[in-house]
Structure 1
Amino acid sequence: MKFNFACAAALSAAGFASALPSWFAESQDVTTFDDATPVPGKNPLVFCKDHDLQKDIVSITNVDLTPNPPESGAQLAIQATGIIHEPIQEGAYIQVTVKYGLIRLVNTKADLCEQTEKADLKCPIEKGILSVTKEVDIPKEVPPGKYTVHAEVFNADDKPITCLDATVTFGGHAADSEL
């Protein structure tokens, strides 16, 4: 059950690839985002709690999701903008974990450049301002419940690109999703 939200969150969070692949089957340890800094825009994304944003290769300036929160059976439009401070090289990767409640559905490492190609971007991605728009279909078969996504993105030399977390509740009301 792939769902471009995790990668989309990571890349969009990265500020350039908010059009990442579909992965809603990867997860990690239970996470709370109470003290986390929200990603600017209309989205359920937050920067990872103990992550030093000053060291990130990408500064995410805005991520908008429509609908927000995402809904099963709907098309998700992702618009992301960010500033790339140094080129993102071939060999960059994303580590994504998705949980359904307490159950880890996915824990995977993916080639970031391969994923960005789905958003019509090719590595190396050069320094500068980058805006990306991507639409992905969310399967209507997504079981109702609370999903937690953790995505860490690294350049080929293991320098952090960004780190994002999100919690989305499917089958509930918008108030049920943590923003």
Structure 2
Amino acid sequence: MKFLSPAATVVGLLAPISVGANPLSLWPSSQAPIHELNGPAVPGDNPLFHCAIPTDDILQIQSVELVPNPPKAGQALKIRASGILTETVEKGATVLLDVKWNNVITLVHQTVDLCEQIKNVDLECPLEKGPLVLEKEVALPAQIPKGKFSVLADVLSKDEDKITCLQADNIQF
């Protein structure tokens, strides 16, 4: 259930996917935040929100706990997440990951292979239908720039069904 994590390394959440950031790019100054917060908060001690009401999501998240919350640059971030997969997740699933700094500079904007990335959290595809628990400790770099970060992780199955979509806005380092 670690569906995004270079952001996790930058924002220290979802510690899921550990990908390299694309080169920085400036967004127009009129660019809005990644998403409006339309969905409910993710249960647990974390800064996460669903992008929309998650009724039909393949992953029904029960809890995400981050210690410390909020994450701190240069400190280890402990993540414990649990949920239930309503169907098996197979190879071909993807994650669209966006990480913005101060709602102006895009640090990461890319689509990655979920099954390649979940190896970073000691999981492998296929992810079988049923309960899913993830526990991981991630070392956050001390050189995370000061500012506010926004993260979006939109996770889709190989058939482009919604596994989950999570976001966090204004996480301050």
Query: Is the structural similarity TM-score above 0.5?
Result: yes
Aligned partner letter, 1:21: I
The structure with more helix, counted as a fraction of residues: 1
Give the direction of change, closer, same or farther, for the CA distance of 1:8–1:59 in structure 2 (3 Å limit). farther
- Unaligned 5+ segments in structure 1 are 10-17, 171-179
TM-score normalised by structure 2 residue count: 0.83
Aligned partner letter, 2:112: A
- Deviating more after overlay: 142-151 vs 19-28: 19-28
Equivalent in the alignment of 2:83: 82
TM-score normalised by structure 1 residue count: 0.80
Q: Deviations over 1:8-60 (max 9, x none)?
A: 75xxxxxxxx5412359579951465553100000000001xx3412211100
**1:22 equivalenced with 2:18 (yes/no):** yes
Number of aligned residue pairs: give it. Answer: 159
Q: Deviations over 1:110-132 (max 9, x none)?
A: 11011111111111111111111
3-state SS, counterpart of residue 70 of structure 2:
coil
Aligned partner letter, 1:81: S
Counting only pairs closer than 5 Å after superposition, residues 105-144 of structure 1 correspond to structure 2 as 105-144=107-146
* Aligned-residue RMSD, C-alpha: 2.4
Counting only pairs closer than 5 Å after superposition, residues 149-160 of structure 1 correspond to structure 2 as 149-160=151-162
Counting only pairs closer than 5 Å after superposition, residues 63-102 of structure 1 correspond to structure 2 as 63-101=64-102, 102=104
Give the direction of change, closer, same or farther, for the CA distance of 1:166–1:62 in structure 2 (3 Å limit). same
**1:44 equivalenced with 2:40 (yes/no):** no
Equivalent in the alignment of 2:8: 4
Moved over 4 A (4+): 5-9, 23-29, 32-35
Structure 1 CA distance, aligned partners of 2:168 and 2:139? 18
Equivalent in the alignment of 2:57: 56
Structure 1 CA distance, aligned partners of 2:71 and 2:137? 12
Using the aligned pairs only, state the percent identity.
40
Structure 1 CA distance, aligned partners of 2:154 and 2:35? 16
Equivalent in the alignment of 1:174: none
